[in-house]
Amino acid sequence: MRRWQPARLAGAAGARLVAAGAGTGAEPGPRGASVDSRTVAPGELFIGLRGERSDGGEHAAEALAAGAWGVLVAPEHAERALARGVVLAHPQPLRGLQALARAWREELGEGGARVVAITGSTGKTSTKDILAALLSPHLRVVASPENLNTEIGMPLAMLAAPAGTELLVLEMAMRGEGQIAELTSIALPDVGVIVNVGPVHLELLGSLPAIAAAKAELIAGLGRDARVVVPAAEPLLQRHLRADLQTITFGPGGDVSLAEARPAGAPQARDHTRQPTPERAEGGEILIRLGPGALRRRDGGEGAQGQALVRLRPSFAQAHNLRNLLAAVAAARALGITPEGEELRVSFSSLRGERLQMPGGVVLINDCYNANPMSMHAAIDDLAETAAGRRVAVLGDMLELGDGAREFHRQVGEHAAQQDVGLLVTVGALAAEIGAGFGKEAIAVPDARAAAEALTGLLRAGDTVLVKGSRGVGLELIAEVLRGAGRAGDRGEAPLGGLVAGPRSR
Ligand SMILES: Nc1ncnc2c1ncn2[C@@H]1O[C@H](COP(=O)(O)OP(=O)(O)O)[C@@H](O)[C@H]1O
Ligand SMILES: [Mg+2]
């Protein structure tokens, strides 16, 4: 928005221009937007949103003092003599933010930018990170940072895209009916990706078909020339597909499928006993088959051949991320791009299954950003696939599952038993039910700190420990505690603070 004069920006936001500020230099507009007066950066537009407890508009003066380009606030805050900067008034600042994001997206689009929107029950952020990495060699890509995926975060992510952006990759979260429709009407995607449909936020929507319908609002809201990317043979989405839009499917039997995965050897863990090491390519070589449906051109013609193989070397190898990679390749094809032969280094957002080498020969898979039945099963599969020694699972509550919660937890326990988990620690009241499904002895504790304590004396060299639970359970504390214990060891105190029992590797 750098080139937008205050009046233009007010028009775009549907706001009233109360004060036009002083300077109109070569770059008269803001360089992004922020809703937090404590972190607003110089040159940004501050938007004062009404929250449940506080009203951001009250901090408008602070934001200007911090160097904000201007403020967009409710009328009652705009009138309060804001001498410096630009002041815009909107009766609903959130609507102003959204209108502004949409207008900015349209302007970027005139410059040739395209938008890929990604939703789904689990794996949105990871797919977004993979797609951004995959297309960065081809286009100037801007992706939502971390998890900015709500009616507030997504518009902010859009406004952070500078002029000249060629591709915006946006994550869309769903917390109820109508939300994806709203986000779609702001983002105006050229490609809509649904990663999967599963029992997440089941409590809110009641049933899997209702969840599928909520995700499918993305498909319903796409424009005439847009393309759709969905998992192959997902019965829950069939009735939502549109005959007028080209659809590219991914996964077994789909237009984009895995032809071959040649592993490069055991996965590498980041060594926390020394300086952090950069992520290494661990995924080996991946061959992806593109069928005719993925090669069709915009004019309806087919690609050179009816089928093609794409070779990639990703820095990851987990089965669920390879599925996400297929979705990303399908999205690339929807944009007319075929990535090929590339080394694909993805830095996943934090707490998404990062492997940490703990002192004492223990590897910890830190996957506690969130949890639901789908991602729990995927993470246990990954544990089983990659653990060299004993498989340890520390599993917390999966929240918001509604009436079926106990059953979903029990099934996770059954899955853990099938995958030969050797030691199970459950964290929280719901998670205790995982122990019931496990059928063997399990340790049940009430919270993360108790789990860290329980692990003391139980872990031994060679263990791989999966730590996963819903955000609210706060299991990231476990890695912190174990790491802290490790640091004590580095200082020459008891190795791992007495954490690791039994044989040690060194
Ligand atoms: N395609 C997938 N299927 C099942 N589980 C997945 C998938 N992708 C990621 N996960 C699991 O879900 C966790 C959260 O992934 P993330 O990409 O943050 O999802 P979202 O943004 O949808 O919440 C990951 O750490 C991993 O355990
Ligand atoms: Mg996410």
> Is there an atom of ligand 1 within 6 Å of 426 CB?
no
Which DSSP category does 44 fall into? P
- Give the span between the Cα atoms of 251 and 425, in whole angstroms: 33
To test the pocket of ligand 1, the residue of 127, 131, 375 to mutate (highest count of ligand atoms within 8 Å of its CB) is 375
pLDDT number for residue 277? 38
Using left for φ > 0, alpha for ψ between -120 and 50, and beta otherwise, residue 290 falls in: beta
Query: Which ligand 1 atom is the nearest neighbour of the CA of 327?
Result: 1
Domain ranges of the chain: 6-97, 111-344, 354-498
Q: Which atom of ligand 1 is least distant from the CA of 121?
A: 22
Q: Does the beta carbon of 231 lie inside 6 Å of ligand 1? A: no
Nearest CA to ligand 1 atom 4: 375
Q: Which atom of ligand 1 is nearest to the CA of 122?
A: 22
Let me know: does 365 contact 320? Beta carbons within 8 Å. no
Instruction: Tell the residue nearest (CA) to atom 16 of ligand 1.
Output: 123
For ligand 1, say whether the CB of 93 is within 6 Å of any of its atoms: no
Number of the ligand closest to the Cα of 353 = 1
Report the length, in residues, of the chain: 506
pLDDT of residue 223: 97
Q: 280 CA to middle of ligand 1, Å?
A: 21
CA 33/CA 45 separation, integer angstroms: 5
Cβ–ligand 1 contact at 470 (below 6 Å): no
Q: Which ligand is nearest to the CA of 153?
A: 2
Instruction: Label the pairing between strands 423-427 and 391-396.
Output: parallel
* Rg, the chain, Cα only: 25
pLDDT of the residue at 304: 53
pLDDT for position 9: 95
CA of 125 from ligand 2 middle (Å) equals 4
Map residue 224 onto helix, strand or coil: coil
Taking the centre of ligand 1 as the mean of its atom positions, its distance from the CA of residue 363, in whole angstroms, is: 20
Amino acid at 484: G
Which residue's entry shows tokens 């702001």? 186
Taking each helix axis as running N to C, give the angle between helix 179-187 and helix 93-110, from 0 to 180 degrees, rounded to the nearest 10.
40
* Token pair recorded at residue 103: 């207008």
CB 401 within 8 A of CB 473: no
Q: For the domain bounded by 354-498, which CATH number is listed? A: 3.90.190.20
369 lines ligand 1 (CB under 6 A): yes
CB neighbourhood size of 506 (10 A): 8
pLDDT for 351 equals 87
Distance of CA 254 to the CA centre of its chain: 24
Torsion, Cα 396 399 404 406, to 10 degrees, reads 30
Please identify, by atom number, the ligand 1 atom nearest to the C-alpha of residue 195: 1
Domain 6-97 adopts which CATH fold? 3.40.1390
Instruction: Decide whether any atom of ligand 1 lies within 6 Å of the 119 Cβ.
Output: no
Superfamily of structural domain 111-344: Mur-like, catalytic domain (3.40.1190.10)
Alpha helical stretches, state H, 188-318? 202-205, 208-215, 217-220, 235-238, 292-295
CA–centroid distance, 375 to ligand 1, in Å, is: 6
List average pLDDT for each run of 10 residues in the chain, which is 506 residues long.
Answer: 91 94 71 93 94 89 91 89 80 97 97 97 96 96 90 96 97 94 98 96 90 97 97 96 97 95 69 45 81 81 70 93 97 95 87 88 92 95 94 96 94 98 97 96 96 91 95 92 63 38 32
| Residue to probe by mutation, ligand 1, list 118, 121, 126, most atoms within 8 Å of CB | 126
> Which residue type occupies 413?
G
Q: Quote the strand ranges of 397-461, DSSP E.
A: 423-427, 443-445
Cα 76 to Cα 70: distance, rounded to the nearest angstrom: 16
Query: What was the pLDDT predicted at 341?
Result: 77
Closest residue by Cα to atom 5, ligand 1, is 375
Residue 232 and residue 252 in contact, taking contact as beta carbons nearer than 8 Å: yes
For ligand 1, pick from 148, 318, 320 the residue to mutate: most ligand atoms within 8 Å of CB.
320
Q: How far apart are the first and last CA of the chain?
A: 57
Q: Does residue 318's CB lie within 6 angstroms of at least one atom of ligand 1? A: no
Tell how far the Cα of 174 is from the centroid of ligand 1, in angstroms.
14
